[in-house]
Structures are given as structure tokens and as C-alpha cells.
Structure 1
């Protein structure tokens, strides 16, 4: 079988936690050879659970497995001359280097982009940090540490998430890490494409703050065009109606039919031709102005039907879906048909556990994760032999890896 679309691309991965490893996980899924360079103590995420009973004591938990699958691990102590020299050798033969250290760490180690690119002009050097790198614009928060929660708060998500009269609420998934990581993967592949013609790499920088602001693009144009400051509106949309989460007899239903034709079809399906023919509800703009009436009418119908009944009637006719938990999701035939659950072995347990699959689908170069995450330094001997490092470094305190 043909390898993934990035087969033949070598990535030196210095990242830890979530944003950076998510970037390099995407590249590994796409076929790149990702060499995860870890400090003697390993990536801090190795210790995060859930850790199954019987797990190899030097293995990892589900968190690490999910975003480090398909990579090779080698331990280097970058604070030593030998470790830094080996990293420089790795980078000299690489297509990409990715790091998410605090701004200035690589410079203090003598491993800056400028230094490494002198040896390897085609190197794509990529970073993801809370507030970016000064090469792209010096943020006043440059040296502030950042996590998903902080970035969701600062860049707009929490300002528009929650009930109208309630406290701010974070989005459940770690989008403050995952979306910037995804954006960086796009930046890396774009730089690789450009380098095919120019023969030169470049510095690629994503700030978590910037990525989440881009994700919240709606609030920017709303504020610019109208002067408004959008706030939380629960599950409603400020510009579309109906666009709601409505109750069912056994749960909740997401229902969106703002298009006027879809609205009329919805009214017919639920036998509410009075709503269809009401001139005060004929357009999306009018329905937005009467959103409470629209919600009450729809909720009155959905609340006396089960989720299955609603989906049987409306599915394929108007945009509709049940609010599901993960147990329902893993049983969904769509998920199986699209290979969105991948089973990987977990060292020491004799068992396989599921992680989320790869949503990118290719007709000729499939990108399907098949290899588990590596043990710490699992590939160290072969890598050290290849690059001339005689032995693994002993345990020491790991370098500053805060973002």
C-alpha cells in the first residue's frame, strides 16, 4: 500500500503537552517520519491518565497515546553539549523541526532557527506558543505561559460561550491547543510545498491567541460592522433562526433550518403549516426577531418525541442531529464507515484501546494511524547509532518546557 502523502518527510519533534504534539501527530498520520526528541524525564504528558492496569511502568496513558501515535522517541539532554550537537545533526538531515518551548529557550541552547538554517537552508522551522514569536511580531505577552483555558478566555471563545445571564464557560475540547496545532500543520505543509520550488525553508509561527481569534472570526466583523460587542447567547446564533438545541422526550436535539425553504419544509414535516404560512416568520431575519416564538413552537413538538422519532422524521430533510455522548458516538455506523476509531496496542497490557481517527481522507495515499505511541527512548539506540551518539543520557532535570 502506498504511504501517506508526507511519506519521505522527516520531522524533528521537540514538542510537549498538547498543541505541538497534535501538530506532529497530524504529520505522522500523513506519513511523515516524526522523531520525538524528549528530555531525560520524558514529555510531561506521559504521566497523564488514564493509565490502564498492567501498563508498562515506563509507558504512558491515553492522553500521550492519542497525540503521539506513530512517532519514534529518542532522549536527548539539550542542556548538554553532546545533546545539543546531536540535535543539530538531526536537524541538518530533517525537512521540518517543530518546537513549543517558551520564547527564547532554543536561542539560549544555541539552537535558534537562524543557527540551524545556516546548516540546513531547506529546514522548515515551526513553532506554536501562547503568544507567538517576536520574529512575527512582538506581543506584550511574549513570555507569558499559556494553556488552553487561558487562550480560550483571552481570544474570544469564552466571551461568547455560555448562557446569556450566566458565567463564562470554556469549550469542552482543548481547542485552544488543538486548533493552533492544526493551523501549524497547515503552515508546515504550505512551507514544504513552497520549498519544493525555492529550495529554501522558512520560519513558521502560530500563536495560540491568534489561532483562536481567527476561529472566533464572527465577533470581529460583527463588532466592526455594527459596533456591537457579542456576548454569550446559549445555544442560539445571533444571525440565524431556527438554530437551537431543543428538548426531546429522552434528551436533546440540534435543529437548524435558517434557510427559508428549509424552514417551510420543517413546518410541513411537523404539521405546523400555520407557522409556514405566518408572514411574520417568512424570512430568517423575521425569525431572528421572533426567536423565542420559534423556539417555543419547535420545542413544543420535539419534547413529546424521542430522539429516534425526531431523527426518523426529519433526518435527510432538514439539518438535525441528536446531542450524543461518547458511548453513542462509538456505536454510530458513520464513525465505523469513516474509520474514525482506531485501535492501538498499549504496552504491557496485552490490550488495544481506541483513539480518535484521522479525518483527512485520500484516494491514493491513505493517512490512517496504525502504530502506537513510543516508549521513552524506544528508538534511541537506532537513532544514536545513525547519528553517532554512543549512549543515552542519564536522568536529569528536564529543561524549561513551559509555553
Structure 2
């Protein structure tokens, strides 16, 4: 029996959508920020590449082509049997609006897919795509959504799902005012190709409402949100199902959440891709990712939950734990980096200490957890920086805590 043709779409947004990842996103596009040693966009792409029958992956956003071209070139080399391309939107059309223009034509060109995965960039997940495909093949709905369970006090921050024992979605509300369910939208969708018929219906409905409402007429009729404009009516029409996962899931909305996501992916690599991890030794505590071009002194101690990028130099007696150290940075002798992100080309002086606290489960306004050093930050010897956000090109020579250092 032949496998149905499947295509994948990854929504990466654009520069205006990565503001909460600042200061890291000031110098690096959000989809390319390293998480567990790989660009953020690599994780859903690698998961899609394993789906049986998947022929093509389209990465959609409104970054300039030149921003994504290097990654696309590397991805084509790593996954040579799958067509991979970047499609640029020249203005934001919403999470579904783009599907009515050039994206639709690109997806539906031969071989025409029976199934279409849509993945958001800003989540960290085990990406249970094969399991979603199995459920999708058993029901007669248009779509299957990834459902994850969160704590009751945070559920209203997401799209909430109410389902029956057969996994049929009975009710879907995007960020409800009051609690309706602990199961929320995990940001991954699998649709039949009839999705485009449903989008056309949603567009016609929106145009009809706009004709009757002067306020709606002021909005672009091409802006369409997948969640509110497509999934809500599909759920009401009993055409949407949910695959509920009990595996790990986390949004990647802030720089601090990148450290949490890196830890989750590194631990997953132990099972699915141990070849990506550095071998355990007196120096390295697993799971840790170390780029082959990094230079680690044999007296240093690295890990667990550490990702070290290209060209990084780690000196004598250095301790790094629960951290991301990005390309070209140097950690000098006996320095310490914990619960932190060290950006590109930083210099952490001898006996300096960069540390923070683990990312809290709920945002706490005014409180900084993970320390983030942006690009080309220099710490003088014996300097302590704790739970701070440090903007690019800063030289710090005195201790700082719980501050944004401009």
C-alpha cells in the first residue's frame, strides 16, 4: 500500500515577532537561535523529515531571503531526499492568511499532498508527528491538533480544547477569559488538503461580516488567523480532532525559556540522537552538546544541560552548567556560568561568575531569572553578574544583580 503524500509547513514569523527573545534576537533571527546546539527551526524540520511519505517542507515567514538562505542550504545538505524551501511573506497575513496566496499554490503543486502538517516555531516538543498521523488516518475530520496538558492557573494563556473520549474536539476557545480546560493547543496541526476549502469558507464569512460591520471593514480582509478563523468553526462543525500527548512541551517565548528548551532537547537526544551529544568524561557531564570546533581545557567541568557553540574557548578550571554558550565566546580560567546564556563573541574574564535562576513556570513581572549576555559583552576578572539582561557591546567591571544593563 502506497503512503499518502504529506507536506510540512513551519511558520517562523518575522523580526517584529521575536521581540520577547531580545537581546538575543537583536543580532540573530529568532528561528536561527541555537537551542541544544541546533537552530530553533531545525527541531521541527528534523521531526518532519522523519514522517513517512513527506516530500516537501516549506518554511514561511517575513524575514528577508538572505537571513534564511544559509540555513536552507545546510538543511538541504542534511536532508537531501526532501524538498526544503523558504517562502517569504512581504507583509503579515496572519497564521492562515498566507495560505490563500502564493503558499497555497506552492503546497498544492505536484505531488499534491493528502496531508499537510503546520508547525509553529516557538514551541519545544517531542514532535509526535507519526502518532498524530495515525490518529488522523482513523477519523473523518479535516484536522488533528496537538493537545498538551498544562496547569489550571496557566491554561487561559493558550487556546483551550474540550474533547470527548473519541478525541473529537467539542469546543475550542483561544485564550478564554475563564478556565474551561487544562488541555491546550500545542501549536502543531495536521490537516487534510480540504483545509484550503475551509480557509475559503472562512475568508468568505469574514468578508460577509465585514460588509455588515464598519469596524471590520477597517481591517485587512486578507488577514486570517488559523486558530480563531479556521479551528474554531471546524470544532463547532465537529471536523476537528485532538492528539493528546503526555510527553514534554514548552513554549519558547523568551530568552530564559531557551535554556529550558535546550535542557529538554538535550535529554531527548539521549534517546533519539545520541550521536549529537558529547561523550561522558571527567570533563563532560551528560547530556551536553559541544561543537567540534570548541576548545575545552581538560581541567574544566561542563554539564549537565549545556550547549556550546562553534569556536568557543573554555579555560582552565571553568564550570558551566545549565547554560548555552554561543559562537566565538571565551570563558577564561576558573570562571563559572550557570543558568545563563552567553551570546556570540563574549569574553568572560578569569574568576568571573555569570549565573541566574531556573526559568519559573509562571512569568513574574519585574523579576529576571536566567542571565542573558547579548553579543560582544565583556566581563572583567572577578565580576559577578546574577539574573541580569545585558545588552550588546557592554563592558562590565562591577557586580550586578536583577538588572537590565543598557
TM-score, length of structure 2 as denominator length = 0.23
Of Structure 1 and Structure 2, which has the larger fraction of its residues in strand? 2
> Bigger radius of gyration, 1 or 2?
1
TM-score, length of structure 1 as denominator length = 0.23
- Whose RCO is larger (CA < 8 A, sep 6+)? 1
